[in-house]
Chains A and B, each alone.
Chain A
Amino acid sequence: MSTYEADALGWFGGTGAFGGRFMPEALIAALDELDVAWREAMADPAFTGEFDRLLHEYAGVPSLLYDATRLSEHAGARILLKREDLNHTGAHKIRNVLGQALLTQRMGKTRVIAETGAGQHGVASATAAAYLGLDCTVYMGEVDTERQALNVARMQLLGAEVIPVTSGSRTLKDAINEAMRDWVASVDETAYLFGTAAGPHPFPSLVLSFVRGIGDEARRQCLDQYGTLPDAVAACVGGGSNAIGLFAGFVDDPEVAIYGFEAGGDGVETGRHAATIFAGSIGVLHGARTFVLQDEDGQTIESHSISAGLDYPGVGPQHSALSAAGRASYLPVTDAEAMDAMALLARTEGIIPAVESAHAVAGALRIAEERPGQTILVNLSGRGDKDMGTALEYFGLGQAGSRGQRETK
């Protein structure tokens, strides 16, 4: 990713700017071991070939690039959807976990741990662990286990142990803390499958290397199918793995505008949101210097979003660097805008997106107003099956004989 890549110490945007490694000494040897093993693996055609084969034969990659004509008509711009929702397990996350689990196997470790917010990364990790015969423990905030009970059941069916985390705000950030605590005590036989392109070096770069297929494929597909690059690309940003995967394919094309849409929750002005770059400040969280939602004393503030997968008070350091460099724009999308977009995509295209991905669709609709007739490529990072409980409650669905109380345009 040229000038936007990390240096050898994991800094993005210059020494001391974003990223780095703010971690207990006890874990440094493991991070160094991982860094070396990952670089060797990525240079080994046997490893990358096996990764590509698994993605293709098992995960259904490359995902389609789909011309959403009815949605485009509504938007007044051409909307292309990168259909990561069609991947095995229903989201882009399978790419990351297959890469990391293969690497775990190569390193001779037998157990993986993972944190999860919405449960998508947990399900993906449990899937990869089952497929490759690894033990799997998933840490999940107690609050999230309640709002995503279906995903808890999926992980359990796949043979993983799901541990509810009751410390702190009992959401994703606390699940990461607990997974790190596990890792400090189990690092000899355990690999930590980090769920997003955040955390200490080398995780942001390592995760990117496994998800950047999203952007590389989309760029090629766009040229092959439509003979041109998009005018803009858009993705939702929580920790930011689907977004960085998409952006990586286009960051060196200066004519392509890049938009990341953060969870605006009830609205940034209410303080109840997860718009880390848009409304946060620079700090250190989970091992990296990046934008953080924090109070005056540097205590992490709880984030809020209708989408568990975006409900995170930090963000991958590479996004912070892209924002600081002015290469990408990060804007908030509220819960209400995202839910409207979810319903709109369902009714215009017959595609029910994950609430996370609906933020990207809503954002694309907004930028379409400034870009009439242009081509906007959106990463539809996940499908909405897991969010039916949220939709049922939000729209008042589930009663036969009505179309739901909250009608959308």
Chain B
Amino acid sequence: MSSTSTAFARARAEGRAALVGYLPAGFPDVEGSIAALKVMVESGCDIIEIGLPYSDPVMDGPTIQAAAQQALDAGVRTADVLRVVEAVAATGTPTLVMTYWNPVERYGVERFARDLADAGGAGLITPDLTPDFAPEWIAAADERELDKVFLVAPSSTDERIAMTTAAARGFVYATGVMGVTGTTQATAAGVAPLVARTKALSPAGGADLPVGVGVGVSTGAQAAELAVKNGIGADGVIVGSAFVRTLLNHPGDRAAGLAALAALTEELAGGVRA
């Protein structure tokens, strides 16, 4: 069982959903992102997703684009991302990297898997890599027992959900809306059918593969609405743009940004427990 699965199991045992928090590495700078992610861990995130800033992020809306661009403009490198992973994973919280595919391919798939594992990273979330085009990554991840988090969407056919969940490890990422990050709000009514289909089509009826809902989730109330107790069945709630926006809203005042980040994390952590 991976550290990610363990975190989901712990949340499930407590009768709640897990809170998964995202920030891009190197935003506002490398040290700043480590400090911010540690605040998110301390304030109630069960699992951390670290974004690898990329020049052409087709799944991201303006908020995450702006943060990634800021990180790239400041010169963040793939090696810096791994350094952030190491610092955050050292807290004991499962830490995954969310990355578009080209930077991994360029780094070398095998080399990336090795260095990610060495840094204590739990695995990868790959928004533009589906299992049918991922043989190299699947082999490298399997060798090191890294999580392979693939996405399912409301538009996915049943065949593709079955194929994706069969290939996934750690959890499967259900996109809450048809759209990019940070623009549209996901609703329980919109998400419920996808979560139900994903669970029904997962090996062992989803018992071994938690479903996290992301894209379009930003508030504690939404987290509560989507969380397991209220019948939607999401095992995890993934929040990204809202954290990024919180930091973007406090330029030049690190302390105020971190305080706001802690407050948002607590609100969301309360939501998944509601």
Contact = CB atoms under 8 A, between A and B. Distances in A.
Interface of A: 9, 16, 20-30, 167-168, 173-174, 177, 180-181, 184-185, 187, 283-287, 292, 294, 296-300
Contact of B155 (A180, A187, A286): A187
Interface of B: 54-59, 61-62, 65, 69, 72, 77-78, 101-107, 127-130, 132-133, 135, 150-157, 160, 164, 175, 177-180, 183-184
Contacts of B56: 168, 173-174, 177, 285-286, 300
Contact of B105 (A24, A283, A286, A296): A283
B178 A24 contact: no
A24 B59 CA distance: 7
Nearest to B156: A25
Q: Does more than half of chain B's interface fall in helix, strand or loop, or is it mixed?
A: loop
Contacts of A16: 135
A298 B61 contact: no
A177 B58 contact: yes
Contacts of A294: 102, 106
A299 B55 contact: yes
Given A25-B130, A187-B155, A283-B106, A299 B54 contact: yes
Nearest to B161: A25
A28 B131 CA distance: 12
A9 B133 CA distance: 9
Given A24-B153, A28-B156, A181 B54 contact: no
A22 B150 CA distance: 12
5 contacts: A24-B58, A25-B160, A181-B59, A297-B77, A298-B103
Nearest to A180: B58
Given A167-B62, A286-B56, A25 B102 contact: no
A165 B72 CA distance: 19
Contacts of B154: 26
A25 B156 CA distance: 7
A167 B62 CA distance: 8
B125 to A, nearest CB: 12
Task: Indicate the member of A24, A28, A292 with the most B CB atoms within 10 Å.
Answer: A24
Given A297-B107, A298-B107, A25 B179 contact: no
Given A28-B160, A284-B101, A298-B103, 11 more contacts: A24-B58, A25-B153, A25-B175, A26-B151, A27-B155, A181-B179, A185-B177, A187-B178, A285-B102, A286-B58, A294-B106
B184 A284 contact: no
B180 A181 contact: yes
Task: Indicate the member of A30, A292, A297 with the most B CB atoms within 10 Å.
Answer: A297
A16 B105 CA distance: 12
Contacts of B153: 24-26, 28-29
A23 B128 contact: yes
A174 B68 CA distance: 14
A219 to B, nearest CB: 35
A19 to B, nearest CB: 10
A180 B157 CA distance: 20
Contacts of A27: 155
Contacts of B69: 167-168
Contacts of B62: 167
A30 to B, nearest CB: 7
A168 to B, nearest CB: 6
A20 to B, nearest CB: 6
Task: Indicate the member of B56, B128, B132, B179 with the most A CB atoms within 10 Å.
Answer: B56
Nearest to A294: B106
Nearest to A30: B155
Contact of A283 (B61, B102, B130, B155): B102
A298 B102 contact: yes
For the complex of A and B, the 5 pairs showing the least CB-CB separation, nearest first, are A298-B106, A26-B153, A185-B179, A298-B103, A29-B155
Nearest to B79: A297
A285 B152 CA distance: 21
B164 A25 contact: yes
Contacts of A20: 133
Given A167-B69, A284-B105, A177 B151 contact: no
A184 B129 contact: no
A285 B78 CA distance: 18
B151 A299 contact: no
Contact of B183 (A177, A185, A284, A286): A185
B103 A297 contact: yes
A388 to B, nearest CB: 32
Contacts of A29: 153, 155-157, 160
Contacts of A292: 102
Contact of A26 (B61, B77, B133, B178): B178
Contacts of B107: 297-298
Contact of A299 (B58, B103, B155, B184): B103
A177 B57 contact: yes
A26 B155 contact: yes
A238 B69 CA distance: 25
A116 B129 CA distance: 26
Task: Indicate the member of A22, A25, A181, A285 with the most B CB atoms within 10 Å.
Answer: A25
A166 to B, nearest CB: 9
A177 B130 CA distance: 18
B87 to A, nearest CB: 19
A181 B184 CA distance: 12
Contact of A185 (B55, B102, B160, B180): B180
Contacts of B180: 181, 184-185
Contact of A298 (B57, B105, B177, B184): B105
Contacts of B130: 21, 23, 25, 28
Nearest to B60: A181
Contacts of A24: 58-59, 127-128, 151, 153, 175
